């Protein structure tokens, strides 16, 4: 009987030990599965994050690089001139007409905005109202809003487009985020498809990476918008073209832009100009 009791205790001990080993293996398998899953997710996500970080880093270098290194970032503030400290350098009219010229470096545009300078066609009160509206609604710095407003008025004048329409397109496309990128690869303030419009960035030394420079993006985006309006014969048709609508409807895109265009005009006191 003692022997049988001893065997029974031993059997129970072995079963208990086996159960504990089984539980340990089961837990290890769960953690191993989690580790494999995390590894797979990171292997997919990290390269994408790394690429986004690289693009942002390169864009910051482009935007913040000292002006001495921006030989192609020339500009036309108020009537085809570039504000540079206390001096004004004229930009040749044929350069502007050819489209080969002229960009305001973003740092210079910011300096002009901070100094209270504004583009031709704007009064002090109108410029202040526009920058305040955009800065408050889209949560960006007042100086940045002023620089973008000035650029919209310079480029809009060149293309005979209402600058406030340009500002409205930026609002709907990116909410004034110069580093925005859509799932199809549209980039920057005006969400330009660099893969489609790569030729339009050839004038810039940074090539397609200039899409992440606010002013380069605006110039190319406005050129595309201008071409679309000219091709379709109306602002509504041009907006549908700009967003890539091929059917009978643009999904409400044009209505959103036009509504924001009117709100911007109401804030500035400058009538909508078609």
Give pLDDT, residue 85.
35
The mean pLDDT of 253-261, rounded to a whole number, is: 97
Backbone angles phi, psi at 66, to 5 degrees: -55, 145
> Within 10 Å of residue 220's Cβ, how many Cβ atoms?
24
pLDDT tens readout for residues 160-175: 999 999 999 999 999 9
Give pLDDT, residue 53.
59
Q: Is 18 exposed, middle or buried (0-12, 13-18, 19+ CB in 10 A)?
A: exposed
How far apart, in Å, do the first and last CA atoms of the chain sit?
Answer: 106
Distance (Å, whole) CA 114 – CA 146: 8
Give pLDDT, residue 150.
95
87 Cβ contact list (under 8 Å, min separation 6)? none
Distance (Å, whole) CA 40 – CA 62: 34
Average pLDDT score over the chain: 79
Residue 138 tokens read as 């889209």
pLDDT tens readout for residues 184-225: 999 999 999 999 999 998 888 788 889 999 999 999 999 999
Q: Is the pLDDT of residue 37 over 90?
A: no
Residue 126 tokens read as 């109108």
Residue in the structure block whose two tokens are 């009791």: 5
Label residue 259 by pLDDT band (50, 70, 90).
very high
**Containing H/E element for 35?**
helix 2-64
Distance (Å, whole) CA 101 – CA 74: 7
Residue 108 tokens read as 């210079």
Distance (Å, whole) CA 214 – CA 230: 24
> Within 10 Å of residue 83's Cβ, how many Cβ atoms?
19
Q: Are 257 and 168 in contact (CB under 8 A)?
A: yes
Give pLDDT, residue 154.
94
Closest CA to 105 of 18, 219, 244, 221: 219
């Amino acid at each position: 009987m003692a022997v049988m009791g001893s065997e029974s205790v031993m059997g129970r001990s072995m079963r208990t030990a086996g159960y504990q080993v089984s539980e340990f293996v089961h837990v290890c398998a769960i953690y191993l599965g989690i580790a494999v899953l995390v590894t797979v997710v990171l292997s997919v996500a990290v390269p994408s994050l790394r690429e986004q970080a690289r693009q942002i880093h390169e864009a910051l270098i482009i935007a913040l690089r000292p002006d001495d290194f921006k030989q192609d970032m020339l500009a036309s503030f108020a009537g085809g001139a570039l504000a540079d400290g206390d001096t004004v350098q004229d930009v040749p009219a044929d350069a502007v007409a050819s489209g080969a010229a002229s960009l305001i470096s973003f740092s210079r545009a910011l300096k002009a905005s901070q100094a209270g300078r504004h583009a031709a066609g704007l009064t002090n009160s109108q410029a202040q109202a526009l920058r305040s509206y955009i800065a408050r609604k889209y949560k960006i710095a007042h100086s940045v809003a002023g620089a973008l407003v000035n650029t919209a008025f310079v480029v809009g004048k060149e293309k005979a487009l209402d600058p406030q329409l340009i500002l409205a397109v930026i609002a709907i496309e990116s909410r004034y985020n110069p580093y925005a990128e859509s799932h199809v690869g549209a980039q920057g303030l005006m969400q330009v498809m660099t893969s489609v419009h790569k030729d339009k960035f050839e004038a810039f030394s940074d090539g397609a990476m200039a899409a992440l420079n606010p002013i380069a993006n605006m110039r190319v985006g406005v050129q595309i918008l201008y071409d679309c309006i000219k091709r379709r014969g109306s602002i509504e048709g041009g907006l549908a073209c700009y967003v890539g609508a091929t059917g009978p409807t643009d999904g409400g895109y044009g209505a959103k832009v036009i509504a924001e265009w009117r709100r911007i005009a109401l804030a500035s006191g400058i009538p909508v100009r078609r």
